[in-house]
Structures are given as structure tokens and as C-alpha cells.
């Protein structure tokens, strides 16, 4: 439950989960769903900002679930950051950078809490409040508030913003995560 911020981002219709999707995205989804992150990332040679970001996201997710592959994720993130041209692309890359720093801190690989907060702050400055990527950013800010800074009030506010964004953009997987984390906070407070 501590590091679920990536599940909702890539597990949505249009990313290889429906019959109408691009065959490459379907192959990536199938490999990802079998925990073959490196194989899925290998299919996505970073030809453009979107592919570079998706590749980085897969490798960051691998770090979260295996506590391995940190250098490959860093390299992929540098590539995604270099390929980003628009504010949304730079914001999404910063969001991934913050998530990787969060995971490294959470698993005590290296204390990168300040880097995580700074990267997510940078992402917040770049991603417009109503944009689809903002809900995931808010969810990840909630994870940092809940698990690193131990600030349930800040976490609750971030999860509520993420929940509102996920509702507005019809993202049922992110909604599932926000409900679960909001319920966990309420349970710990005795509600």
C-alpha cells in the first residue's frame, strides 16, 4: 500500500488494455502485468517524449516492486527529462523523478526525501491544475506526506485533490487508490 502511485497511471484503457489499443501498448501492458518491466521497457526505445516517459515510468515501477534497477531508472529518467519539450512533458518527468526519489527513501536505499518533495513541487508548477496528470501528482504528494513526513492532514488533502481529479478524468484505478488511502487514514484516526 505504501507505494502504489504508479498503478493508476499506466493501467488505463488506451494503454494496451483493450482490443482497440496499439499492439505495442498491448505487448507492453502484458509484459508489465507479468512483472517483466525491463522487457516492456526494452520495447519502448525512447523515440520521443511520450515513449521516453513511459519507459522511465516502467523502470521506476520496477524499483518500487523489486528494490532493484535504480541506475537503469535514473538513466531512463534523464532521457525522459532531456526529451521533454512542453510543460506537461517536463512536469510528468519531474513527477516520475519525485516518485523514484520517494521509493529510494521509503526503502532506505538512500535518503532522497528532499529531492522527492522538490521534484513533485516542480511538477506541480508545470502541470496545470485541471490536467489529467495532476491527479497522479497529487496522489504521489499524498504518499510522501503520509509515509515520509508523517503528516496525515497534508496526506488527506492531497488524496482528496487526487480523488477529485481522478473523478473528473474517469480514472477508476486511481480512485481505488485514493479511497484506500483515505480509508486507511480514517482508520488510523479511529473513524
Determine the pLDDT at residue 15.
58
Write the CA distances from 83 to 55, 77, 101, 156, 169, integer angstroms.
12, 10, 20, 34, 26
Determine the pLDDT at residue 46.
65
Query: Per-residue DSSP letters for 98-144?
Result: HHHHHHHHHTTSS--HHHHHHHHHHHHHHS-TTSHHHHHHHHHHHHH
Tell me how many domains the chain contains.
Answer: 1
Closest to 158 in 3D by CA, of 54, 1, 5: 5
Determine the pLDDT at residue 48.
87
CATH number (domain holding residue 17)? 1.20.190.20
| Cell numbers placing 2 | 505504501
Per-residue pLDDT of the chain (191 residues; tens, 9 = 90+): 444 555 434 444 445 556 677 888 899 999 999 999 999 999 987 678 999 999 999 999 999 999 999 999 999 999 999 999 999 999 999 999 999 999 999 999 999 999 999 999 999 999 999 999 999 999 999 999 999 999 999 999 999 999 999 999 999 989 999 999 999 999 998 87
Parent domain of 16: 4-188
Determine the pLDDT at residue 78.
97
pTM of the model: 0.86
Determine the pLDDT at residue 18.
63
Amino acid at each position: 500500500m505504501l507505494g502504489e502511485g504508479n498503478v493508476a497511471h499506466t493501467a488505463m484503457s488506451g494503454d494496451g488494455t483493450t482490443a482497440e489499443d496499439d499492439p505495442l501498448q498491448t505487448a507492453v501492458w502484458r509484459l508489465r502485468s507479468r512483472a517483466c518491466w525491463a522487457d516492456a521497457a526494452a520495447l519502448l526505445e525512447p523515440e520521443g517524449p511520450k515513449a521516453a516517459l513511459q519507459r522511465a515510468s516502467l523502470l521506476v515501477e520496477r524499483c518500487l516492486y523489486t528494490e532493484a534497477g535504480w541506475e537503469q531508472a535514473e538513466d531512463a529518467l534523464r532521457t525522459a527529462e532531456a526529451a521533454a519539450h512542453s510543460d506537461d512533458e517536463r512536469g510528468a518527468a519531474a513527477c516520475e523523478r519525485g516518485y523514484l526519489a520517494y521509493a529510494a527513501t521509503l526503502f532506505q536505499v538512500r535518503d532522497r526525501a528532499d529531492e522527492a518533495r522538490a521534484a513533485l513541487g516542480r511538477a506541480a508548477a508545470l502541470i496545470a491544475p485541471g490536467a489529467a496528470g495532476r491527479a497522479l501528482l497529487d496522489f504521489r504528494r499524498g504518499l510522501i506526506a503520509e509515509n515520509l513526513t508523517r503528516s496525515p492532514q497534508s496526506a488527506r488533502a492531497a488524496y482528496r485533490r487526487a480523488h477529485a481529479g481522478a473523478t473528473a478524468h474517469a480514472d477508476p484505478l486511481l480512485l481505488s487508490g485514493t479511497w484506500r488511502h483515505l480509508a486507511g487514514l480514517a482508520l488510523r484516526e479511529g473513524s
